[in-house]
Chains A and B, each alone.
Chain A
Amino acid sequence: GENVEQHPSTLSVQEGDSAVIKCTYSDSASNYFPWYKQELGKRPQLIIDIRSNVGEKKDQRIAVTLNKTAKHFSLHITETQPEDSAVYFCAAGGGKLTFGQGTILTVHP
């Protein structure tokens, strides 16, 4: 089955800095790569996703890049704000999703 590795497990940045979270996956058949933000005790919320026919996608301060050859994809958040603080999960699949271990992002004012 699919295996997704996510790094780093914790990330601390100053407000205004950029944050990068990286994930690798094992199953070359995976064709859908979403990123979710989860606040404590809440549901995961989709923040951006990318499909296998696209290498990069951007939505305001958030961007995702995908390298299918290397089987890795990354989340980039620019101009971070304290409200970006949360746990971020990557996932890979197509039909069903396998989630990474999560990254606790803390943005200090």
Chain B
Amino acid sequence: GAVVSQHPSRVICKSGTSVKIECRSLDFQATTMFWYRQFPKQSLMLMATSNEGSKATYEQGVEKDKFLINHASLTLSTLTVTSAHPEDSSFYICSATTDNRGAETQYFGPGTRLLVL
């Protein structure tokens, strides 16, 4: 149980284009989803927290107008990287939880590797 999928698994795009990444909880309802970015040989950096039906909470330094997050249902959250540039190339990973009260287990998606040319 607690399977999280992401699509696409990898994407290559030209500078200036927008890219949408989907994160789905397949066998549970995710009250909260998290979006992380991971550069090569580095740790996971939280970008934002999203709850179904409400606006995402962004971490300090993350541009909310550049990284648009939509959590329209209890099983789907999307991250759109707008006007992507080469420095946005990274591994983007989502996670989902089923409990938004206190301590909780995060189940991770397989990640999306973005390369901006």
Tell me the A residues contacting B by CB distance below 8 Å: 1, 31-32, 34, 36, 41-46, 49, 51-52, 89, 94-102
Contacts and interface: CB of A to CB of B under 8 A. Distances in A.
B66 to A, nearest CB: 20
B106 A34 contact: yes
Contacts of A42: 110-111
A52 B102 CA distance: 11
A97 B47 CA distance: 11
A45 B43 contact: no
Given A31-B102, A43-B110, A99 B43 contact: yes
Contacts, number: 53
A32 B46 contact: no
Contact of B46 (A31, A44, A45, A97): A97
Contact of B93 (A31, A44, A94): A44
27 contacts: A32-B102, A34-B106, A36-B108, A41-B111, A41-B113, A42-B110, A43-B93, A43-B109, A43-B111, A44-B93, A44-B108, A45-B108, A46-B105, A46-B106, A51-B103, A94-B102, A94-B103, A95-B100, A95-B104, A96-B46, A96-B49, A97-B34, A99-B43, A99-B44, A99-B45, A99-B46, A101-B42
Interface of B: 34, 42-46, 49, 60, 93, 100, 102-111, 113
Given A95-B100, A96-B34, A96-B49, A44 B44 contact: yes
A90 to B, nearest CB: 10
Q: Binding site of B, secondary structure by majority: helix, strand, loop or mixed?
A: loop
A95 to B, nearest CB: 7
B2 to A, nearest CB: 9
B43 A102 contact: yes
A89 B44 CA distance: 9
Nearest to A93: B103
Nearest to B103: A32
Question: Which of B46, B49, B103 has the most C-beta atoms of chain A within 10 angstroms of its own C-beta?
Answer: B103
Nearest to A49: B105
A98 B108 CA distance: 15
